[in-house]
Structures are given as C-alpha cells and as structure tokens.
C-alpha cells in the first residue's frame, strides 16, 4: 500500500535519534532540504534529517505494474561547532566522531514502520567553515508501494 504520508520514515528517524541520543544532541529536526542548514543557526550539536528523493529499484517486477519497490534516500546531517583549533577544524572533528558513531548505531539496521531496515548509502561530502562542521550520513529505506 502507498502510505498516507509518503515521508513518514523521516519523522520516525527523528524520533529514533531523539530517543537513542538523549540530551547529547541539542536539536533534532526534519528539514525540507539540506540547504536549509545554511539558513539557520541552531544550537550545537544538532541533527537534520532530510529527504533526498526516491530511487526505483531495478529487477523483477520493478515498474511492471501497480506494485513497485522504491528506495527512499534520507540524509542525516550532524552539525557541530567548536572554537577549539578553529583554523584546522580539529576541535570539530574531535566532537563529531563519537556523535557520528552513535547516529550510526541508532539507525543502521533499524526498521521504521512501513519500510525495511535502513541501510547506509553514499553520502554527500562533509563541509567545514570557521569552527562549524556539517557531517552527512545517508540511508536508504525500501518501501513497496502498491495500489489497494
């Protein structure tokens, strides 16, 4: 079945991150797009979850009728600020490493309702500017969409 909310996986990812990471992350939010990160100055550390589109799964039955396998791609971006070693970014990397590990533990293999277990996929490159690092991780959630 096609879910009533096509982007329901993202909201579940936000809930999962909040539950698993507790007070170690100051803000977790569902974003319309990753570009939104540059427009806001959130508390640090913060995480955005953004939909990165769908990919039709090739193979038996894909695109052959009312039922299709679709991978939804989601980017989970960790934003960390640190004034320590701002010129090199070492302070940001030191702070981000353990948090990235915890995000991976929370989401890799976790199964949101209405989808198969999340799996890692290629993510955009990280970025660093003046004491602020953005570290994206990407995941795919497979859905089977069909007409009732």
The pLDDT tens digits for 27-56 are 999 988 877 765 566 788 999 999 999 998
Supply the mean pLDDT for the chain.
85
Chain mean position to CA 106:
11
Task: Determine the pLDDT at residue 60.
Answer: 46
φ, ψ for residue 17 (rounded to 5)?
-65, -45
What is the pLDDT tens value at each position of the chain, 148 positions in all?
A: 566 788 999 999 999 999 999 889 999 999 888 777 655 667 889 999 999 999 988 764 545 566 788 999 999 999 998 767 655 667 788 899 999 999 999 999 999 998 999 999 999 999 888 788 899 999 999 998 766 5
CA gap 31, 10 in Å, rounded: 9
All structural domains of the chain = 8-145 (3.30.2000.10)
> Quick count: other Cβ atoms within 10 Å of Cβ 91?
18
Position 37 scores a pLDDT of 66
Paired tokens of 25: 């992350």
């Amino acid at each position: 079945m096609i879910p009533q909310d096509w982007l329901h996986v993202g909201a579940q990812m936000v809930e999962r991150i909040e539950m698993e990471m507790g007070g170690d992350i100051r803000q977790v939010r569902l974003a319309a797009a990753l570009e939104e990160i540059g427009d806001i100055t959130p508390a640090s550390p913060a995480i955005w979850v953004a939909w990165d589109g769908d990919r039709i799964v090739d193979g038996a039955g894909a695109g052959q009728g009312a039922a299709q396998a679709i991978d939804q791609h989601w980017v989970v971006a960790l934003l960390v600020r640190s004034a320590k070693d701002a010129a090199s970014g070492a302070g940001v990397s030191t702070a981000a490493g353990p948090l990235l590990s915890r995000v991976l533990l929370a989401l890799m293999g976790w199964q949101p309702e209405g989808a198969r277990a999340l799996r890692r996929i290629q993510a955009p490159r990280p970025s660093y500017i003046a004491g602020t690092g953005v570290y994206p991780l990407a995941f795919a959630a497979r859905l089977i969409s069909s007409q009732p």
